A and B are shown apart, each in its own frame.
Chain A
């Protein structure tokens, strides 16, 4: 069954999926440690941002990859909330151009990864 942006239980599906499956998804997937360090950066997200995974993996996402999210709307929620599955409209500056996106913020206490899911709108 294909993984979709809106499906329930998205976090569990992403944890279970292999790298090739995640890379084949039509929307951006950023997996982070609970500290916010990027673990994987899929192909769709790489195409949107213009950054290859090699430049991103291992860095702190909110401060050293995508500072546009380092505010009360995105980063502070990942820091402060223990369990969250929320979708919000946002604007990314993909290749310096304001780009409207829909974000899904996924975090569950005890899980190894947090996910930021990015879909153009």
Chain B
């Protein structure tokens, strides 16, 4: 029967739907079966089969809620739905989930599945692609077809993602790879046009859970702020001294790590860069504008403030190791300075903020809410400790969060 014929019956069905919705919203207590169902729903996004429900309930009853959580993570929907939609907003400036599967998302999923050190998501020579046995179009640095075919085919991401060294696919040297930051999706979203500051900002936003506004600290030295930042926007230098400087003094010397990267595309025929590609100026490759490896985008609008910083290389420095952003918890074993995206990304990924951010995101994803009180905040700290102790395995965070939020 055509669907439209069935619409006649909706009027009769809808009161029932609303009734159930109302009645369920008042529920607050749960026994082990309800706890298992909630845990599975939250982790996998789908209801458990009766057998899995029984198994998880038994684990919970036996005091092994964590085992139950790991059981839920066996469901492919954990990868196909939960992790995909957790990571999808990180891959675009609009931060929407409504984007096709891409190499950034797939890499996040793969790292979680393989219990990898999740910090490498930012700096590893890592990429996950579809198993060749599926017969899909191969990975391309110039389009996203490979991943869209994988998603549209309904293939299990749990079963069909395979690890490869990113450098073997996107043509940049292994030492220039920086996990998802040098994925094609990130390049298309954040390296397109502009000054590459977007790549830094969104990485910090998505993986340290702070936007530039929260990190604003006007007390730091301003020597690395580039020439393109007007010191008197609209003729009012107060704006610079009170606002702009507080972000750029930290952001610009860190974003210098991306000085050799760009996203090339045909602005006339392909304005969204669907067929564009990330490029990297390796040793010996000279940009005609800068006469160095530095991309032109790092020298644009130089007359906005001619006495600003001129980028000569990809040396980065973390000014946030001074001032109030010390509280982000930088790794004391790292030097806080270096060259290139990989080491800068490692600086970010090895911070306390990175670890706690992953926990907050997963907590929110599983508990469907933010931490609201001291008990929640203490739990976040415990889960973060467990995350680190586990070798930064994100599944552990899902397990701990799901256990905490499975209900009483």
- Asked whether A and B interact, the reply is no
